[in-house]
Amino acid sequence: MKGVIAGGDAQTVAAGKEILEQGGNATDAAIAAVFASFIAESVMTNICGGGIAIVGDIAQDKAQVYDFFVDMPSGKAHPEMDFHEVHSDYGPAQDSLYIGRASAAVPGIVAGLSALAKEHGTMPLKKLLQPAIRMARQGVSLSPSQEYVLEFLTPIYEDTPEINKMYRKGDGSAWRAGEKNAFPKLAENLDQLADEGERVFSLGAISQAILRDQADYGGLITAEDLANYQVRKLEPIRITYRNVELLFPAMPSTGGALIAFALKLLESVDLAKMEHLGVEHIRVLAETMRLTNIARPVWDAEASSIQERVERFLNETHIRQYQSHLNAILRGDNHPTEPVFPKSPDHTTHISVVDAAGNFVGVTTTAGESAGFVVDGTGLCMNNMLGEADLHPQGFHKIDPGTRLTTMMSPTVLLKNGAPEMILGSGGSSRLRSAILQAVVNVVDFKMPLEKAVHNPRIHFGAGVLHLEGGISAQRALDMEALGYEVNRWKNLNMYFGGTHAVALENGRWVAVGDSRRGGDGAVV
């Protein structure tokens, strides 16, 4: 075996597979796949967004978090800036968000992927870009899940003539699942990146195009913002759960610590003795999710360092307090009131890779829902992370310039006896936490093979509502209502419940599973 990879689209996975077949390591394959995802999954992520990766390097005997999420720009908000509200229709619910030039935060993906290539890869960045360049030039097929997202984000993709044209076929008709669409201007930008290196995005021609566009149309990103952006290298959060070790990112990830906290609560309960998705199991998961949300303000509170924040939130005394709450609720005590948190960016994707040597990478990226425009003279779409209300609780454009925004994204690694056994991650706002949590529990507690662990129906509890995915029986929903839960029934497996793309070691062999909820795929090379 040369390697194993899972991601959010077959075309994304094919790019990473191509690099593994050519002898690249896990980092090489992950980088190629991420660049390919900007074309194959362009409604989930793009080259002007941000991301977080966990990298395990055998030669260095070290696991490290790479934070290349977005920064607050330094331009001052003003009445003439391009910042306007649009509404998207998800079917069961409608959503309000803001797009335009002043919704774009300082992007970090190119800097992050370039740092990974330089510090952990074995192939030049130019070679790793070739699958994405070819795909952008020749075209990619739209998957049904990408079409679904494109449809309910129609107001964004029709906001300006340039982006509307980019997402329509040559005859002007809508791009539909199974049909191909090319991105020739983006191919040119990727060619520039391949020839000139990452500086083209921070100091070169592409950065100048972004800056002209921001200045001409009311954006807030400055030359200093692009030139001074820094990739951060951090230690992962490490916890034990049952007989395994798990690694998560800390700040700017909120999700990593919250998943770790939830797993530590579950350690006080013997899940293995419960019927999977029986009343007792669902109730334990729901109350764990409730208590994690109740504890979340302790994590979110200001701290002098990431380590202080981790120690405050995951120390044994704090965990035991909430374990006691959980077990008291399960014995019949009333549950406390759960706070309501705004929705995080939902349009996120993940890639998991392990190579033959045991090097591993889990990388999650997002651009929000896209800012609804194409940078003048390029094929670049920007992120709209400044238009996401949950990232700006004090109001839009109030955060200090240069501040790294927070994210729920949490690439996750499971180790046994110090060696990787599962790499996973998910998109899906707060539901990515419940998706990762249940995948880990399914593997560790219920001993499920990865395919079953990923594709079993899920639950999600938040804002006082218990969501039951399709495949959970109607009787189970009635049972939970009889216990006092407000239940929302879903008919089928749905991308609302995340998209967990994972690789795992089973019976001495690596397997890969892309979550069908979000069009995922996997490959073993």
* Number of other CB atoms surrounding residue 422 within 10 Å: 28
Q: Are 379 and 184 in contact (CB under 8 A)?
A: yes
- DSSP SS3 for 51: strand
- Residue 139, Ramachandran bin (φ over 0: left; ψ between -120 and 50: alpha; else beta): left
Q: Which of 160, 254, 288, 348 is flagged as catalytic?
A: 348
3-state secondary structure of 414: strand
- Please report, for residues 12, 494, 521, 522, the alpha-carbon distance to residue 136 in angstroms, rounded to integers and kept in the order given: 12, 28, 20, 21
| Three-class SS state of 364 | strand
Does 500 qualify as catalytic in the annotation?
no
Using DSSP's 3-state secondary structure scheme, residue 27 falls into helix
Half-sphere exposure of 302 (CA within 13 A, CB side): 1
Write out the E strands in 3-59: 3-7, 50-57
Residue 440: how many CA atoms within 13 Å on its side-chain side?
32
What 3-state class would DSSP assign to 50?
Answer: strand
Whole-angstrom distance, CA of residue 515 vs CA of residue 499: 5
As a three-state string, the secondary structure of 68-99 is: ECCECCCCCCCCCCCCEEEEEECCCCEEEEEE
Largest CA distance in the chain: 65
Crossing angle (nearest 10°) for helices 26-40 and 10-21: 150
> In angstroms, rounded to a whole number, what is the distance separating the alpha carbons of residues 514 and 435?
13
Alpha-carbon gap, residue 146 to 119, rounded angstroms: 33
CA distance 1 to 422: 16
Q: Positive or negative, the Cα torsion across 108, 114, 120, 123?
A: positive
> Catalytic residues, which ones?
348
